[in-house]
Structure 1
Amino acid sequence: MIHRTSLPRRMAKRLAGSQGQSTWSKPVVQIATAGVTIGIALIVIATSIVHGFQSEVKELVVGFGSDIQVLNGDWRDQKIIRSKKVEQDLLSLSNVKSVYPFYTSPGIVESKSGLKGVVLKGMNLETSNGMLEKFLLEGRVPRFDGKDSVVLSLELAQRLELKLHDPLTIYLVGGPTGIRPRSMVLGGIYRTGLIEYDEEFMFVPTQAIQSTAGWGLDLQLVLNENTVEARAFGGNRSPKISWREVTPDGKVRPLGWRSKGAHPLSEVKANSVMAIAESRDLDFNLLPDTAWLSRRMGEWKVVPSGSGWDKAASGYEIYLEDGVDLWTSEAEIYAALPLGLVTETVTQQAPEMFAWLGMLDLNVEIIIGLMVLISIINMTSALLILILERRPMIGMLKALGMSDGQVLRVFIWQAARILGQGFWMGNVLGFSIVYVQEATGWVGLNPEAYYLSEVPVQLNAGFLVGVELLIFVLCVAMMFFPALASTRIRPADALRMNR
Structure 2
Amino acid sequence: MKLSRYLSSKLIKNKQEGSARPVLIIAQISITISIIAMLISFSIIRGFKTEIKNKVVGFNGHLQIANYSNIADAFSTDPITYPRDDVESIKSIKNVIAVAPVIEKPAILHENDLIEGIVFKGINREYPTDFFNKNIVKGRLPNLDTALNEVCISENISKKYNLDVDSAVRVYFFKEGQYTPRGRKLKVVGIYNTGLQDYDNHYILGNIKIPQQLDGWGDTLVGAYEIFLSNIDFIDFLKPIIMQKLDYDVQLIDVREKESRFFSWLEMLNSNVIVIYILMAIVAFINIIGILLILILEKIKFIGLMKTLGMTNRKLSTVFLWLTMRYIIYSLLIGNVITIVIIIIQNLWHIIPLNETMYYMSYVPMQFNIDYFIIANLAIIILGLLGIIIPRVVIRQISPAEAVRAE
Asked if Structure 1 and Structure 2 have the same fold, meaning a TM-score greater than 0.5 normalized by the shorter chain, the answer is yes
Which of 166, 182, 197 is residue 184 of structure 2 equivalent to?
182
Q: Which amino acid aligns with 2:101?
A: P
Does residue 1:446 correspond to 2:351, yes or no?
no
Alignment of 1:96-495 (within 5 A): 96-144=96-144, 145=146, 147-178=148-179, 179-213=181-215, 234=216, 309-322=218-231, 324-495=233-404
Residue 124 of structure 1 contacts residue 143 of structure 1 at CA under 8 Å; is this kept in 2?
no
* CA pair 176-457 structure 1, distance change in 2 beyond 3 A: same
Question: In 2 relative to 1, CA 495–131 (structure 1 residues): closer, same or farther, beyond 3 Å?
Answer: closer
Counterpart CA distance in 1 for 2:196 and 2:262 is 11
74-83 or 353-362, which moves further after superposition?
74-83
Change (3 A) 1:483 1:173: farther
- Counterpart CA distance in 2 for 1:50 and 1:86 is 38
Q: What is the aligned partner in structure 2 of residue 28 from structure 1?
A: 23
* Distance of aligned partners of 1:92 and 1:11 in 2 relative to their CA distance in 1, 3 Å threshold: same
Higher strand share: 1
Amino acid across the alignment from 1:347: R
Structure whose alpha-carbon radius of gyration is higher: 1
Is 1:13 the counterpart of 2:14? The answer is no
CA distance in 1, matches of 2:274, 2:392: 28
Quote the offset at 1:470 in angstroms: 2.4
Deviation of the 1:62 alpha carbon: 1.2
Q: State the shift of 1:155 in Å.
A: 1.2
Q: Which sections of structure 2, spanning at least 5 residues, go unmatched? A: 72-76
Structure 1 length as normaliser, TM-score? 0.75
| 2:55 maps to 1:54 | no
Partner SS for 2:19: coil
The offset of 1:324, in angstroms, is: 4.2
User: 1:299-321, CA deviations, whole angstroms, 9 ceiling, x for partnerless residues?
Assistant: xxxxxxxxx53212121111111
AA matched with 1:158: K
Tell me the number of residue pairs that the alignment of Structure 1 and Structure 2 aligns: 400
Distance 1:78 1:7 in 2: 79
Whole-angstrom distance in 2 between the partners of 1:479 and 1:113: 75
Cα separation, partners in 2 of 1:204 and 1:406, compared to 1, 3 Å: same
Deviation at 1:323, TM superposition (A): 6.8
Instruction: Letter of the 1:6 partner, please give it.
Output: K
CA distance in structure 1 between the aligned counterparts of 2:172 and 2:388, rounded to whole angstroms:
70
For the residue of structure 2 that corresponds to 1:204, the secondary structure is strand
**C-alpha separation between the residues in 2 aligned to 1:370 and 1:324?**
29
Determine the C-alpha separation between the residues in 2 that align with 1:97 and 1:362: 33
Shift of 1:117: 0.7
Letter in 1 for 2:160: R
Measured after TM superposition, the shift of residue 96 of structure 1 is 0.9
2:197 maps to amino acid: I
Amino acid at match of 1:206: I
In the TM superposition, what whole-angstrom CA distance separates every residue of 1:128-173 from its partner, at most 9, and x where no partner exists? 3333322222232221445322221121122223333333221212
- Summarize deviations over 1:250-307 as a string: whole Å, max 9, x none: xxxxxxxxxxxxxxxxxxxxxxxxxxxxxxxxxxxxxxxxxxxxxxxxxxxxxxxxxx
Paired residue secondary structure (1:212): helix
Secondary structure, counterpart of 1:128 in structure 2: coil
Could you tell me whether the CA contact under 8 Å between 2:33 and 2:335 is conserved in 1?
yes
* Rounded Cα–Cα distance in structure 2 between residues aligned with 1:183 and 1:102: 21
Q: Distance in 2 between matches of 1:184 and 1:344?
A: 31
Offset at 1:175?
2.9
1:181 & 1:148 partners in 2: Cα distance? 12
Asked if the contact 1:379/1:479 (under 8 Å) is kept, the reply is: no
**Greater RCO, CA 8 A, separation 6+:** 2
Per-residue CA deviations over 1:215-238 (Å, capped at 9, x if unaligned) read: xxxxxxxxxxxxxxxxxxx4xxxx
Are 2:39 and 2:376, in contact at CA under 8 Å, matched by a contact in 1? no
**How many Å apart are 1:55 and its aligned residue?**
1.2
Percent identity between matched residues is 29
